[in-house]
Chain A
Amino acid sequence: EPEVTQTPSHQVTQMGQEVILRCVPISNHLYFYWYRQILGQKVEFLVSFYNNEISEKSEIFDDQFSVERPDGSNFTLKIRSTKLEDSAMYFCASRIGSAYQETQYFGPGTRLLVL
């Protein structure tokens, strides 16, 4: 069964450093998402991406964040200058189409720790 994959599973970085989190969505899916989950808190929407552009973003997704689909398979989240409060589990998700009944499928997550 196809699934969303994410790399790395864990990343430790120093405050101020740039990180890139990678995701490979399910191959025939067209809509891509990033969510984050700070330890002990709920999952929060960051950004959605369709047709090579951001379609919606939350207040969390400030100028430090960017997303890209550099090729036909990868979908990346970049944090330019990490802060301590960026420490969280980051989930990628994808959805096949635009119909309201379509399900989002999530990857296993990348746990980011900023020191």
Chain B
Amino acid sequence: AQSVAQPEDQVNVAEGNPLTVKCTYSVSGNPYLFWYVQYPNRGLQFLLKYITGDNLVKGSYGFEAEFNKSQTSFHLKKPSALVSDSALYFCAVRDQTGANNLFFGTGTRLTVIP
């Protein structure tokens, strides 16, 4: 069965500093991994995905994520955090059977401190 874990409920970072939001996954085959962001009272917005190819994936709003197969991780990163990055971040893995639904992690709340 597929699953993802986000070990940190909350991450605080000062504006301008680099940020990392952690995600580890468990799949039986090739992992297809996604990051979504949820702003207050908004839906889930797609940030980036890893399907195959380069381990460093670049996405929206300056975010990137590094796929590490040996550590089964897919951490989200940004070199310089903005206050507007404050939101709830979800890592997800695609179901490898059936209808390709997503399995989500529990989410990490990122707060960027001015």
**B36-81 residues at the A interface, CB under 8 angstroms:** 36, 42-46, 49, 51-52
A31 and B94 alpha carbons, distance in the complex (Å): 14
A-B interface pairs (CB < 8 A), number? 66
For residue B98, CB closer than 8 A to chain A, the reply is yes
A45 on the B face (CB < 8 A): yes
Interface contact A42-B51, CB-CB below 8 Å: no
Contacting residue for B99 out of A55, A103, A105, CB 8 A: A55
Given contacts A100-B51, A101-B32, contact A43 B44 (CB under 8 A): yes
Judged by DSSP, the binding face of A is: strand
**Is A31 within 8 A of B103, CB to CB?**
no
CB pairs A–B below 8 angstroms (24 shown): A4-B43, A6-B43, A33-B101, A42-B105, A42-B107, A43-B104, A45-B95, A45-B101, A45-B103, A48-B99, A48-B101, A56-B98, A56-B101, A91-B43, A91-B44, A100-B94, A101-B49, A102-B100, A103-B34, A103-B46, A104-B46, A106-B44, A106-B46, A108-B43
B residues adjacent to A (C-beta < 8 A): 32, 34, 36, 42-46, 49, 51-52, 90, 92, 94-95, 98-107
